[in-house]
Amino acid sequence: MASIQLRALKIFCDVVQQRSFSRAADENEISQSGASQTVHQLEQRLGVRLIDRSKRPFILTPEGQVYYEGCRGLVERYIALEDKVRTLHREVAGRVRVASIYSVGLHHMNHFLQLFIARYPKANVRLEYLHPHRVYEAIENDKADIGLISFPRSSRAIRAIDWRTEPMVLACAPSHPLARRPRVSLEALNGQRMVCFDSDLTIRREIDRVLHQHQVDFECVMEFDNIETIKRAIEIDSGVGLLPEPTITREVEAGTLVAVPLASTDLVRPLGIIHRRGRELCSTAQRFIELLQQHDGSGDTEAPLDQATGSAGESPSSEDREEDALAGAASSGHDGASENLGSAVQQS
């Protein structure tokens, strides 16, 4: 198969995955008319319509769906093969697309990206911050290679890898009486006014479960779906809250919040790495996962990825609704933000 045909197949797959000719054109550094013409040439060669352009947004025809499913595997294997050949000289020079929930991205990823680019200067990392359900969608629809999520769950389409666990701490204003304690028991929260996560989030259900086990009866004065708003409410002493420790490092350093360790170790927030089942991860994605696992917060390196499948230890299934500790961009209503880091482009 000629290289021009492989490029055409990739453009077609990108059009389908992005659901946009213009975005697929940008992905392949061609014009929108060039992307449209490429798909049209494929249709002429096959003698069938692949895309029904009369619909808005466009949809695949039955023939287009069959063609896409076959082409996607071909393109993925060819890209993986090229990447494998390049890395025979131990040079990681490919691209990895990472989709992350806001709290993981904003609190962890800048450090990891700097480490990765320093180690592999020719690699390119595209990081996008998304709401949790969109992280899963990005993986399932091949818009991202790996995803970073809290309370990860495996499914028929998704493989989840355990990454790290974050201890929960009591966050309170410096003027709060509990702020002076070196450690606080969960029982000490009995009767306290608390700023809580929304009741339909997994992290709220987990907090409620553990507090119930310790027979703690608290007053929920406010509920929010994101950590940033919860922190702002705690800073003005509206109540105390239970939050993942790494997410309040900045406020603790600034002196606007106090993090009091819990006497109980029952409360943690698990984080995981997800990728699509049946898809061979490129070596750049594998190296990125390995770096994350080497810095899992425990000081130990997790089991290495299986070289044949690009997978590691699978985490058990969690509940359908995962917790998203959204940062400020989420509360402002944006679907996501992205950045690219690589040998040519580095953005903070």
Tens digits of per-residue pLDDT, 288-331? 999 999 876 543 333 344 433 344 444 444 333 334 433 333 33
CATH number of the domain encompassing residue 222: 3.40.190.10
Band of the pLDDT at 49, cuts 50, 70, 90? very high
Q: Is the pLDDT of residue 273 over 90?
A: yes
DSSP code string of 169-193:
EEEE-TTSGGGG-SSB-GGGGTT-E
Instruction: Answer yes or no: is 50 within a domain.
Output: yes
Higher pLDDT residue, 193 or 325? Answer: 193
pLDDT for the residue 338: 53
Q: Are residues 283 and 253 in the same domain?
A: no
* C-beta of residue 67 within 8 angstroms of C-beta of residue 50: yes
Q: Is the pLDDT of residue 283 over 80?
A: yes
Domains held by the chain: number? 3
Mean residue pLDDT across the chain: 81
Distance CA 25, CA 43 (A): 18
pLDDT for the residue 340: 52
- The lowest-confidence range among 138-142, 164-168, 329-333 is 329-333
Instruction: Answer yes or no: is 122 within a domain.
Output: yes
Rounded to 5, what percent of the chain is helix, strand, coil? 45, 25, 35
Band of the pLDDT at 144, cuts 50, 70, 90? very high
Q: Are residues 281 and 143 in the same domain?
A: yes
Domain residue limits at 153: 92-164+271-342
> Which of 53-67, 245-259, 264-278 has the highest average model confidence (pLDDT)?
245-259
Distance CA 145, CA 59 (A): 24
Distance CA 252, CA 260 (A): 10
pLDDT for the residue 258: 97
Tens digits of per-residue pLDDT, 196-208? 998 888 889 889 9
Q: Are residues 264 and 279 in the same domain?
A: no
pLDDT for the residue 307: 37
Last residue of a domain, one of 61, 86, 111: 86
pTM: 0.64
Q: Is the pLDDT of residue 345 over 60?
A: no
Distance CA 19, CA 338 (A): 18
Instruction: Answer yes or no: is 347 within a domain.
Output: no
Tens digits of per-residue pLDDT, 174-189? 999 999 999 999 999 9
Instruction: Answer yes or no: is 348 within a domain.
Output: no
Tens digits of per-residue pLDDT, 231-243? 999 999 999 999 9
